[in-house]
Copies of this chain bind each other. A is one copy, B any other.
Amino acid sequence: MDLKDRDADASRRIRTAAVLLFARRGYAATSVRDLAREVGMTNAGVYHHVASKEALLADLMRGAQQGLIDATEHMLRDVHAPADRLALLISSLTATHALSPMTTRVMDGELRSLTPGSPARDEIIALRDAYEEHWRRAIADGVADGSFRIADQRLTRLALMSMCTGTSEWYRPDGDSTLEQVCAEFVAIGLAAVRSSVRAAAAPDPSLLPEFPWEPPHVRNDPSSAEAGR
């Protein structure tokens, strides 16, 4: 291994430690010194490989989003029927979250840690939106050609995407379910969701729900939440 390879290896080991610690403790609760200890360096040594802690986070998130987009577009290339495309979106998002839980937890949950208005943050939001557009189109196409019957396309998309991304919180490769079982089950739920006609079902009486005396009022155009209104 020559010098360049050793450098690349150190950089990769730093990123591995970073994604693990960021996913477990959160970005804000992880110090550069924690990171350095994990890879056997001092904190100054880490700064030879990364410009800043925030740039490291942005790199990881950009790479994760871009990797997901690339893999998705590659898999969708020769699949045309909306139901097949939706099934593929469900199984690939689920499997990515099952197989790369640390990376996807950081990707899904640390957007708030990037400085508002920074170019890196805006770029990552654009990538996320580009990915979601694949879901939007698959569902809209299925409705347009009559293969899906859906009351609200946006709600259906948000429900199914949450189902898939939640996988990173509980899936274990040595657990009770194989990846194949999870994907099959989630695809079945997704396809059932887009074929089902709306059933009568009332929302619960709000007065029966818990009320928390500290819950703040809703704020319009919440600037802290990039998830708003997608």
Q: Which residues of A contact B (CB under 8 A)?
A: 12, 15-20, 24-26, 28-29, 60, 63-64, 67-68, 70-71, 74-75, 87-88, 91-92, 95-96, 99-103, 109, 112-113, 151-152, 154-156, 158-163, 165-167, 169-170, 172-177, 179-189, 191-193, 195-196, 198-204, 206, 208-216, 218, 220, 222, 224-225, 227-230
Contact = CB atoms under 8 A, between A and B. Distances in A.
Chain A contact surface mostly: helix
A177 B3 CA distance: 57
Given A159-B189, A201-B184, A214 B25 contact: no
Given A155-B181, A188-B151, A189-B189, A210 B100 contact: yes
Copies in the complex: 2
Nearest to A196: B192
A96 B158 contact: no
A208 to B, nearest CB: 5
Residue from A28, A152, A158, A198 having most chain B Cβ neighbours under 10 A: A158
Contact of A172 (B12, B16, B91, B218): B218
Nearest to A224: B24
Contacts of A101: 218
Given A103-B214, A172-B228, 20 more contacts: A16-B214, A25-B112, A26-B28, A29-B112, A71-B209, A92-B209, A95-B203, A96-B210, A100-B215, A151-B185, A151-B188, A158-B166, A162-B169, A170-B227, A170-B229, A174-B218, A179-B203, A183-B201, A184-B201, A188-B198
16 contacts: A24-B222, A29-B112, A64-B210, A67-B211, A70-B210, A71-B208, A92-B204, A92-B209, A95-B203, A103-B214, A155-B181, A159-B186, A162-B163, A162-B165, A169-B227, A180-B203
